[in-house]
Structure 1
Amino acid sequence: MTTDPTDAELLAAHVAGDDRAFNRLVERHADRLWNVAIRVMNRPEDADDALQDAMISAFRRAADFRGDAAVTTWLHRIVVNACLDRLRRMAVWKSEPLPDDPERSLHFACTRDDPETAAVRAGIADEVTAALGRIGPDQRAALVLVDLEGYSMDQAARILGCAPGTVKSRCSRGRAKLAVLLQHLKEEVN
């Protein structure tokens, strides 16, 4: 029986010269890394660019991985940093609606929902994505990791390279801003 190599084994194999190991590692985590990039960048084109920058950086810096955290945590940190670097370079934080790309959709519509419910959920997802694009990148990155990707405060802190208290503060401030930006959704329900 053959078992799949662990993330750490794949990274070590890449460093040792295995031409396919890094691709296997990235393919294993591609969806989650894309989700982080698109939610931080808010535009597919920018997310693609940031993700490409991140993967080039990870490829080149694989030998520097010390093993202090999980390989996935290391990859997520590189993706978040690439996104924040790109946002700083762009110096403009505008939001645009995401295209209806079925493979990269952020819509939460379930197949068991009727079409009307699915449409409402898709509209809400679009509005939340747009609102995320209107808050600062540090708060957006913290919220994406904690609230959307499910990382703990400690894990998000390792990814972002800051203290857990900083992540907690960024999430709190970001949620407060989102509450104001999305207040109309609450009013529509009532």
Structure 2
Amino acid sequence: MTHSDADLVVLAQAGDAGALGVLLARHEAGMRAVALSLLGYGPDAEDAVQDAMVVAVRRIGEVRDPAAVAPWLRTIVRNNARMTLRGPRPVPVAEPEWFTPPSTTPTPEEALDRTALRDWVWHAVGQLSESDRLVTLLRYFSDASSYEQIAAVCGVPVGTVRSRLSHARRALAGGLRTSSASAYADSTAADDARWREGRDMIDTAMRGDFDRVVREHWWPDAEMIVPGGRRGGRDLAVRGMNGDLEAGVRQRLRNVVSSGNVLIWETDLLSPPDDPEHCPPAALWLQQLYQGRVWRFTLFHPLPARV
């Protein structure tokens, strides 16, 4: 039996990844036509379509009129294309009339929390290679979401970022198309544990004992990288944190994203009242793990979103 668009949306909102895959395959040609009309033939048009598919996974639960899902998908692509024409910006989130807006703007992680597809998504992300998984987490679940910022964090050319993202999105889309009603591990407990761990470590650091955090959770030969700046080991990280504390800077954990051996913390940086411009407003901690301990730490300050 061939399901209608409305039927597929209802099934997808109930957690059926396969139904969402059928829906996206059905409307892929129309989505691509919109991208081509605005961007012409080339990688930007394909990026706009693939990004829209990932956005749809996150936001399918917000569609209020399931029968109107086709224009909803095309609107996402159109917004993606327009943002590409305007220049580098964070990942777009379409807001056409057919979806129910949340009372407050959610983070990508919070948006995913509200969908029944959450466990499927994290299972699928976990199946990616580590390099593809890293750019995917940065693109869709962090503030360092532009190609240029991802390239800086990863230390690779923008073209490599595009290639890895394209490969990852094809894998995710293929997984949707072949998915069945399989059961996937509940990711909530693992996420809760990562949040508790992150809060405990940041609290310990704010009390002036970041050295203990590093000793207990980093490998002795761990490397610290500041893109475009310093490189060093554990001592560099401890000196940097202690220097910030002495200057009156504090950090507050805002977001935690993890999959496999990739762990990302995003923090708000709070400058001292007498020097409000002392530091950037936010920091991204990229922690690459081996056997549960940090072997490489990258500290990055995302650029504020353009408006």
TM-score, reference length from structure 1: 0.44
Highest RCO, 1 vs 2 (Cα 8 Å, sep ≥ 6): 1
The structure with the largest alpha-carbon Rg is 2
User: Which structure shows the bigger proportion of residues in strand conformation?
Assistant: 2
TM-score, reference length from structure 2: 0.28
User: Which structure shows the bigger proportion of residues in helix conformation?
Assistant: 1
